[in-house]
Amino acid sequence: MYLEIVTPEATIFKGDVDSVSVPGVNGDFEMLNNHAAIVSILKEGYVKITGDIILDDFNKPLFEQKGKGYWFAIDSGAIEMNANKIIILAD
């Protein structure tokens, strides 16, 4: 599945991932390939992505590697997943 993480300053990640976990307002949830369409508001926490992630020199400092995944801190945001494409608008 394809993920884009967009902040007010820049698009900080674009690429294929295996899973994405996010801090939803009603609790954390994870999306895998072929997940049902969803739109949600996000609260402060971490976006966690797994897969064969390739970070470049621009976005590498923004992510923290933990085990096989990468974590990105957010203050708030929104997420939409449809047809195996996820867009996260993050603050």
Q: How would DSSP label each residue in 58-87? A: TTGGG-EEETTEEEEEESSEEEEEETTEEE
Q: What is the DSSP letter of 55?
A: -
Which band of pLDDT confidence, cut at 50, 70 and 90, is reported for residue 9? very high
Q: What is the mean pLDDT of the chain?
A: 96
Write down the pTM of the prediction.
Answer: 0.94
Q: For residue range 15-58, what is the model confidence (pLDDT) as tens digits?
A: 999 999 999 999 999 999 999 999 999 999 999 999 999 898 98
Question: Strand, helix or coil at 10?
Answer: coil
Q: Domain count of the chain?
A: 1
Indicate which CATH number applies to the domain containing 68. Answer: 2.60.15.10
Residue 66 domain boundaries: 2-90
* Residue 90 clears pLDDT 90, i.e. is over it: yes
* Residue 68 clears pLDDT 90, i.e. is over it: no
